[in-house]
Structures are given as C-alpha cells and as structure tokens.
Structure 1
Amino acid sequence: MPTSSASARTGLPVLVVLVALLSFLFPVTAYTADRGAWAPNVPYTVGDLVTYLGKGYDCRQSHTSLVGWEPPNVPALWLERTSAPDTQAPTAPAQLTSTAKNHESVTLSWSASSDDVGVTGYEVFVNGGATASATTAGATTVTVSGLAANTTYTFTVKARDAAGNRSAASAAHSTTTSPPPPVDTEAPSAPTGPRSTSVGSTSVSLAWNASTDNVGVTGYEVFVNGGATASATTTGATSATVSGLAANTTYAFTVKARDAAGNRSAPSVAVSVTTTNAPPTRSKVLVGYWHNFDNGSTNIRLRDVSAKFDVIQVAFAEPVGGAGSGTMGFTPYNSSVGDFKADIALLRSQGRRVLISIGGANGTIHLDDATARQNFVASMQSLITTYGFDGLDLDLEGSSLSLNGGDTDFRNPTTPRIVNLIQATRQLLDQNGSGFLLTMAPETAYVQGGMAAYGGPWGAYLPVIHALRDRLTYLHVQHYNTGTVTALDGRAYAQGTPDFHVAMAEMLLRGFPVGGNASATFPALRPDQVVIGLPSSPQAAGGGYTTPANVHKALDYLLKGQSFGGAYVLRQPAGYPGFKGLMTWSINWDQFTQFEFSNSHRAYLDTYP
C-alpha cells in the first residue's frame, strides 16, 4: 500500500471506510456467533457477538482485534446492540458430578448452560451457600477446598450472564469426602556416616548418608555442640555448611532427620572437627580468574584454589539465547551445583571473596533495550542468590561495549548498550547491599586507549567506570594482548615491560584527557581501586607476559617511587603507597606452572604492611 495515501495516514484503509458505510446502511443479518467478552489479538468474523462493559456488539467486518480497538472506539468494526435489556436467564447447568475428591476437597464438573446472549460464569453452592466461582463461560469445573474429612456435602451450580441474570440451580449432587489420612507417628531413621568434607577458619562443610521414613524424609537439622544451627530443607540435601564458627576451635556435629509430620529421628553419631587458623590480614590483594572450562591448562576444583589468592573471579557467566537476549547462564564445570555452592561457602569462610565474572572473549553481551536489561538483572540476581557470590565482575570484550556515533561525552553516555549496562549494574549493586563487590577487567583499548581517541571501542569502558566509580572495588585493566599504548608523557610503551605497567597504572591514578580534549579529563581513581592485570604464564595470553622480577621493578616504582631507570617517569615521584595489587589470568594457568605467579607475587605483596 502506498504510504502517501490518505487512508494510510489516518490508519483506516479506504476499503474499511466503504465497508463500514455499507454495513451501516445495509446491516448484515447473518448467523450470530456468541464470542463472549471482547479481547485483543483475537480474530473476529462478521456476525460475531461480543460483550464489552455490559453492552453487546455485533462484528461489522472481519478483523483481528488490537489494544485500542475496543468496540466503543471503532464503530467501523462494531455495532452496538440497541435492543431491549437482557432479562432472560441462562438455562440451569446439567449433569453435575464429582470427578475427584480427598479428605479436604472435591472437584466438580457439569455441562455448560446456554443463554440468548452468552453465559459469563458459574456459581457453586455448598449446602446452599456460595463458595467458589468459575469466571468464564468455558469453565465448567472447579475444586472446592477447605472441607472437613469424612463429611457429606451437597453441591448445586447456577449459571449467570453479563446482565446479571442467574439460572435456576442445577440438580443437587451429594458426595462424602474421604476419611482423614492416618496420623504419622513414625520417626525417620537416624542419619549415618556423618563426616566433614571441608574445613575453614570460620566454617565446616558436612555430609551424611540419607535417612529412611515410612512416608518420606523432608529435611535434616544439624546440631553444633548440641544446639541446632542449620537446616537442609529437601529430601535430597544430605550436606550443609555451618558458618560463623571460631578459628582453631573443635566442634562436635550431629544430624537429625525429620518428616512432614514433624517427627524427628534420633541423632547421628557425633563427628568432631577443628577449624583452621584465621587467614592473615593483607593490605595488598591478589586477584585471580578461575575459569569454568578446560583450555589445556588444568582443571582445578574451586575449593582447591591456592590460598594466596584473596579474590577469586569465577569465569564466566555467559548469555543464553543470543548476545542480545540479556539472559545470563552459568553451569559449573565438572561439578554439581551443590558441590560448587559448598566450594564457594568454604572459600568465603576462609575470608576470601568469590565473584561471578560476565562476558570474556567469547561471551558477547548486548543490552540494547529495556527488555534485555531486565532479563540481565533477573538472571544475574538468580545466579548470585543461588551460588552466594560476593560480587560482580564486568569482563566485557569485543562488541559488548562500543560507542555509537555522536556519543562523545563519557560523563553523559547515550549509547543504549552502555547506558543499560550502567543501569543494570547499579540495580544489582543496590539489590545486594553495600558489601557487594564490583570489579572490572577491560582491555587497555577500552580505557587508556580513550586518551588518543574516543569512539567505537576506544574508551568505551570510561563511561561505565565513571558512572559506577562510587561502588567500584577494583579496576584491573588487562596489561596483555594489547601491543603498544600511548601514556601521559605522549610516548608509546610496549606490553610486557616495567615501563608499560607503571605508565598504564599512573594514567588511572592521575587521570587523563579523553580524546585529546583537555577540558574532558577522566578523573583519577583512588589508589586502592587500581590493580594491574597480568598473565600468570606465557601460555596464558598471546602477549604481555612479564617475569616476576620485572613486575616487582614496576611495583617498587609505583608503590615507593624507587626507580628502576626506565624511560617512563612518574608524575608523582614518591609513588602511590595505596596502590592495591595484582590480578592474573588465570588461576588455572598458575597451577599449570607450579604456582610461579601466586608464590612469587604473594611473597612480594606481603612485604607491605
């Protein structure tokens, strides 16, 4: 249809107008089909009868209804009936019978009534009193609950129409509810084989063998030194983690099973466990990515991560249903959900923090609209709640973040996928409280690369960092797979060198002009928010690996102002004592190389009070 026609601009085709006029002048006396209450997105045919707000309407031309096309709004489609008020009651329902029952409910069914306009519902009466309604003409069944056991009830049903006319009552149907079920007084058997599966400084994970019961076990209760402390609420949950314990202390644990009637078993035999010593207090952090897949490095269970890591990033939650769906998923690799949750609880009991990281090199995420944003928030909150994660890490790469044309101010972004990411992250932070951590792991092009150019991927993380800096825990830019990058002194530095690490870190510690515009300076982050991201081994990245000795040269300069004689000169000669630490990709590759990264750098960082 040509878009320049008058009918296209007004929204009603010329043909519709002509048909409406002819229908008005020459009403069609066709077979009338009672379609009940009008509804949108329903195909209607000429002659169909509907009701809307207590009035009847005849369909004047076939169409599929839409919201906004309610019968009073479109006289071209619907003709209001102007006949006398409906005073005819429906016929009485027939063949009332009970199709199922138990000790507290009865399910009834009946044959549909007929009406000159249309039946809109039914009312069910118990011993003469109304108790339940079926609200549509097609609902000819209902379950009446809240009845007494082993008691006879008499039911009748009446039909009603839109005008409020009610039929005569159906023939009565009487039935007797079932006797009450026998009282369960038999307790489950005592759980056997209680044992500790992991021990931390403030928690102990326990497991036991399932109990049996004449009806069914509904849960277990764990007792610490004789007092109840935690419950496993499903029949299959034969494990629990008890938290809030004191370090280096011996506890006795017993377990009881319970059934639906509240019967409790005798306690299991006791198992004694001594918690470990409290972890050391550290001023500098070591952050590591544990990856949920095997890429040739090594497969390591989460609970077995080296104790030298303070923050463990679980990589990755990825989109399901396409990059633009916003819905995120995560399935533990080589682990059950229960075991993975127990591993997280164990690490947390040791004073460590476990975050869920989103994205990665293959997990492209596009939050281009409100629906994707809402899906993202809902699915991520479900993962956070299910597993007990301590925070969220944004590791977005590729096209996940890219500035649209005309989006030139990092302080006021307009690109939808950036705006929606900021809003979604803020909502998750608010939902999970002030203790919920936020970290980010962008590539240098997305951050420091924004000094030379701002657009597309260049500087695309800057609006996200800036908008969330009040809740940002750590920013650990990836100092690898990046080539050379221009620093504050205008010189380009190559990855894998002490100069590169110092220069890239100071850009965040001092701030820098965005897109070469001195009036648009990206403000400095706090030193305790800045962490350097490094490969843990040459195999972990395509480029950028730095030997521990060269990393320590860079850190001596950054933290203490102790120069190694490199080309880059700190703008703040005394250095930044508050600089927070190191991040690595990955924990798995670190184990592959016999913990070279974590051992050497943990020992170095621990020299700082």
Structure 2
Amino acid sequence: MRRSRLCVLMAVLAMVTGGFLAGPGTAGAASAALPKHSLIGYLHASFANGSGYVKLADVPDAWDIIDLAFAEPTSPTSGEVQFNRCPAEECAGVESDADFIAAIRAKQAQGKKVLISIGGANGQVQLTTTAARDAFVSSVSAIIDKYGLDGLDVDFEGHSLSLDSGDTDFHKPTTPVVVNLISALQSLKSRYGDKFVLTMAPETFFVQVGHQFYGGSGGGDARTGAYLPVIYALRDALTVLHVQDYNSGPVMGLDEQYHTMGGADFHIAMTDMLKAGFTVADTGQTFPALRDDQIGFGVPATGEAGNGYTPPADVQTALTCLAKGTGCGSYTLRGGPIPGLAGLMTWSINWDHFSGWAFQDAHRPFLDSLS
C-alpha cells in the first residue's frame, strides 16, 4: 500500500527533527540499533511495591530495552487489556502522561526500545475465543499507538496458557488459548511491520520443562511447555526470548541431570537448551534451536526481587560460558557457544534502583566486554 504525500512529509519531518510521530499502524522507530548484547529490564509503571517508584526519565542509559509493567486484562477471558499508570497516591512523584510520553521519545532518540509488557503474575490472559483475540489486538494496539511504543513483551504466567488434552503437536496446536494468542501476535506484527519489537518472558515451567513433560501427558500439569507452540509459530517475528531463570524448581537439562536455580550452572543449562534445541516429551518431535540473537535469560536484580537471585560473578560466569564456550565448569554445551547472545534481562529496574544500581553497574560493562 502506498503512503499518502502527507504521510511521507510527516515521516521526513520526523527524521529531520529527530522526533517521533506515532499513529495507528506505527510502532516506535529508534534512531540507532541495539548493542550486540542488551541489558533488558522491567519498569514498574502501573503499581508500587517495596522497591519504590522510578520515573522513566530517571532510568539510566545502561538499559537498552525497557518493559513497562504491566498492562492487564479487564477480566481473564475478555481479551481487553488496559495500561493504567500508577496513581499519585500510590506512587509518590509519578510523572504526568505528557512527561511520561516525552521520556519515551527521549529514550527512543537514544536508540532504546520501550515496550508494553502484558500479564505479569496478577494479569491472567486467556484468549478463549476469537472475540477475545480481536479485543486483545485492538486494545494492545491502542496502548502502543497512544504512547508510541516500540512493541510488546509477552509475560503470560500462572494459568494464562495451558494445553488441552490431546494437543501434542507444537507445530499445529489446537488449544484455543494458544491458537488465538498466536493469531493475535501475528496480527500485531503484521500491523506494525519489521520494526516491531516482540519479546517473551516465560517461566522455565512453560519452556524447558517441556523436555521432560508436555501438557497433561502422563497425568501431568497441562501448562508444562505451553509456550513452545507460541515461540515456534512466532520464531521469525521474535526479537528476544528471555526466559525467567528464577522462581523455578529444578529442571532437567540436555545432560539429563537436574539443575537448580541460583548459580551459573542453571543459566548455562537452561540457555543451552534454546541454542541446541531439545526433544519435547511424548511427542516424538524436537523443538528447534533459536537464532543466537534471539536468546537471552532473566535473573532477579536483588534477593528481594525474587527467588533464584544469582550473584554477579556467577551471572558473568554463565554469560562467558554461553558467549565464548569457556569456563563452563562440568557442563558441556550441546549447542556450542552463542557469540551473538541477545543479552540479559532482570526483574526489575526498580529493584536495581533500590539496591543502588548494583545490577546495572556490574553487568552493563561486562556485556560490553563480551562484544
């Protein structure tokens, strides 16, 4: 479809002035590419907790992808999601919408990506019908357009995704909540085009545990591995998959050994599965490897932020092993090194601020040194 002369002139004006023009069908376009290894963090934008509120303008330049947490559904099955910024009575010092949008533009002008994250621990999203799917696409688009965001982070947890009995082919899923989510994400990607940033932050239970259990096979939990068909269907559109390597039980790796969160070994084994690919339990199928630049992993910024906090030295041991294939301890990489590793995610920027920016100060320079 050809753009009108007015649209062309507006785009030229935006480039000349260094500004950004948002509108329907237009996701944010940064003026510079992301670094080889990105630092990715969630910003508590809709709620307060013990970590305190941080204005978007005050987020340091160390952060490359900023996920605004969270947009949540009006009800679990409505499909309609809303992004309600934290009210002043809950978040002291919260900025106005105008200042918030101005901060988004400033971050984008620096080459940062600002995304809306959907879900979280309290935001159960179950797209059980095509009507819910359509409401999801419409409401997410409205949020992206209002704030001129660069894309979407899918952080479905809890009971948002599960697999119906007999749904054992992740290439061709039949469960409505999975099929409709895939369709919705494909529609959003089509609407916004190549510059649309799509990230996902599943827990290990929904990804790597699929190697040992898939869906309700063997009488297990129908949620195990339920992200696999979504990741597979969106693999060409996916920017980064940064699995939450925290709040996890022990998980069996490709060495058929159980790995426990909180140390370098866990991050190495879990991330290697995404690089090498892995067999999916009871399906006779193999989940294929992702590209290097699509693979990351997530850790808590502090011990207060979540179970599975990993000391900086151990995180960096894991990053070195994964990127360079050295210092891997007793673990042998099945997929080989990941020199183009996408980066490191944390929950959260607020918790890092709470700890005096210890996470970013340790890991931003280290990520740069891996390049």
TM-score, normalised by the number of residues in structure 2: 0.87
> How far apart are the structure 1 equivalents of 2:179 and 2:342?
28
- Pairs within 5 Å for 1:456-535: 456-517=222-283, 519-535=284-300
Is contact 1:289-1:312 (8 Å) kept?
Answer: yes
- Pairs within 5 Å for 1:386-405: 386-405=146-165
> How far apart are the structure 1 equivalents of 2:36 and 2:240?
14
Is contact 1:332-1:340 (8 Å) kept?
Answer: no
Structure 1 residues 428 and 564: alpha-carbon distance in aligned structure 2, compared to 1, 3 A threshold: closer
- Pairs within 5 Å for 1:146-295: 244-245=16-17, 282-292=35-45, 293-295=47-49
> How far apart are the structure 1 equivalents of 2:155 and 2:276?
23
> How far apart are the structure 2 equivalents of 1:329 and 1:606?
36
Structure 1 residues 539 and 466: alpha-carbon distance in aligned structure 2, compared to 1, 3 A threshold: same
Aligned-CA RMSD value: 2.1
Is contact 2:323-2:370 (8 Å) kept?
Answer: no
One-letter code aligned to 1:580:
A
Determine which of 359, 364, 371 is the counterpart of 1:602.
364
- Pairs within 5 Å for 1:70-89: none
Is contact 2:127-2:176 (8 Å) kept?
Answer: yes
Is contact 1:558-1:577 (8 Å) kept?
Answer: yes
> How far apart are the structure 2 equivalents of 1:396 and 1:539?
22
1:538 aligns with 2:308: no
1:430 aligns with 2:190: yes
> How far apart are the structure 2 equivalents of 1:551 and 1:338?
38
- CA offset digits 1:106-129 (Å, max 9, x no partner): xxxxxxxxxxxxxxxxxxxxxxxx
Structure 1 residues 244 and 448: alpha-carbon distance in aligned structure 2, compared to 1, 3 A threshold: farther
1:242 is displaced (CA, Å) by 7.6
1:420 is displaced (CA, Å) by 0.5
- Partner residue in 2 for 1:584: 346
> How far apart are the structure 2 equivalents of 1:607 and 1:370?
47
One-letter code aligned to 2:95:
S
- Partner residue in 2 for 1:593: 355
% identical equivalent positions: 49
- Partner residue in 2 for 1:349: 109
Is contact 1:484-1:494 (8 Å) kept?
Answer: yes
> How far apart are the structure 2 equivalents of 1:246 and 1:408?
49
> How far apart are the structure 2 equivalents of 1:331 and 1:440?
21
> How far apart are the structure 1 equivalents of 2:141 and 2:18?
30
Is contact 1:317-1:330 (8 Å) kept?
Answer: yes
Question: How many residues were matched structurally?
Answer: 337
Structure 1 residues 475 and 340: alpha-carbon distance in aligned structure 2, compared to 1, 3 A threshold: same
> How far apart are the structure 1 equivalents of 2:282 and 2:256?
11
1:246 is displaced (CA, Å) by 6.7
Is contact 2:115-2:152 (8 Å) kept?
Answer: yes
1:414 aligns with 2:179: no
1:373 aligns with 2:136: no
**Helix, strand or coil at the partner of 1:287:** strand
**Helix, strand or coil at the partner of 1:481:** coil
Is contact 1:243-1:349 (8 Å) kept?
Answer: no
1:282 is displaced (CA, Å) by 2.5
**Helix, strand or coil at the partner of 1:588:** helix
> How far apart are the structure 2 equivalents of 1:606 and 1:298?
28
Runs of at least 4 residues off by over 3 Å: 241-247, 278-281
**Helix, strand or coil at the partner of 2:369:** coil
Is contact 2:253-2:259 (8 Å) kept?
Answer: yes
- CA offset digits 1:185-213 (Å, max 9, x no partner): xxxxxxxxxxxxxxxxxxxxxxxxxxxxx
Is contact 1:451-1:516 (8 Å) kept?
Answer: no
**Helix, strand or coil at the partner of 2:159:** helix
1:283 is displaced (CA, Å) by 1.4
> How far apart are the structure 1 equivalents of 2:313 and 2:335?
23
- CA offset digits 1:329-381 (Å, max 9, x no partner): 11222333222211211111111000001000000011100111111111111
> How far apart are the structure 2 equivalents of 1:302 and 1:590?
14
- Which has the higher relative contact order, 1 or 2, with Cα contacts under 8 A spaced 6 or more apart? 2
1:297 is displaced (CA, Å) by 0.2
Is contact 2:18-2:109 (8 Å) kept?
Answer: no
- CA offset digits 1:498-550 (Å, max 9, x no partner): 11100000100010000154x30000000110011110110100x11001101
- CA offset digits 1:404-462 (Å, max 9, x no partner): 11111111101101100110111011111110011000000000010101011100000
Structure 2 residue runs of 5 or longer lacking an equivalent are: 1-9, 20-30, 87-93, 216-221
- Partner residue in 2 for 1:142: none
**Helix, strand or coil at the partner of 2:266:** helix
Determine which of 451, 474, 492 is the counterpart of 2:211.
451
Which entry has the higher C-alpha Rg, 1 or 2? Answer: 1
Determine which of 318, 322, 326 is the counterpart of 2:72.
318
1:244 is displaced (CA, Å) by 4.4
- Pairs within 5 Å for 1:326-337: 326-333=79-86, 334-337=94-97
1:608 is displaced (CA, Å) by 2.7
**Helix, strand or coil at the partner of 2:77:** coil
- CA offset digits 1:89-138 (Å, max 9, x no partner): xxxxxxxxxxxxxxxxxxxxxxxxxxxxxxxxxxxxxxxxxxxxxxxxxx
1:571 aligns with 2:325: no
**Helix, strand or coil at the partner of 1:538:** coil
Structure 1 residues 336 and 506: alpha-carbon distance in aligned structure 2, compared to 1, 3 A threshold: same
> How far apart are the structure 1 equivalents of 2:113 and 2:295?
17
> How far apart are the structure 2 equivalents of 1:558 and 1:528?
12
Is contact 1:478-1:532 (8 Å) kept?
Answer: yes
TM-score, normalised by the number of residues in structure 1: 0.53
One-letter code aligned to 2:260:
A
Structure 1 residues 514 and 568: alpha-carbon distance in aligned structure 2, compared to 1, 3 A threshold: same
Structure 1 residue runs of 5 or longer lacking an equivalent are: 1-228, 231-240, 248-277
> How far apart are the structure 1 equivalents of 2:77 and 2:335?
44
- CA offset digits 1:194-240 (Å, max 9, x no partner): xxxxxxxxxxxxxxxxxxxxxxxxxxxxxxxxxxx99xxxxxxxxxx
- Partner residue in 1 for 2:100: 340
Larger helix percent: 2
> How far apart are the structure 2 equivalents of 1:438 and 1:281?
14
> How far apart are the structure 2 equivalents of 1:280 and 1:357?
21
**Helix, strand or coil at the partner of 2:85:** coil
One-letter code aligned to 2:331:
Y
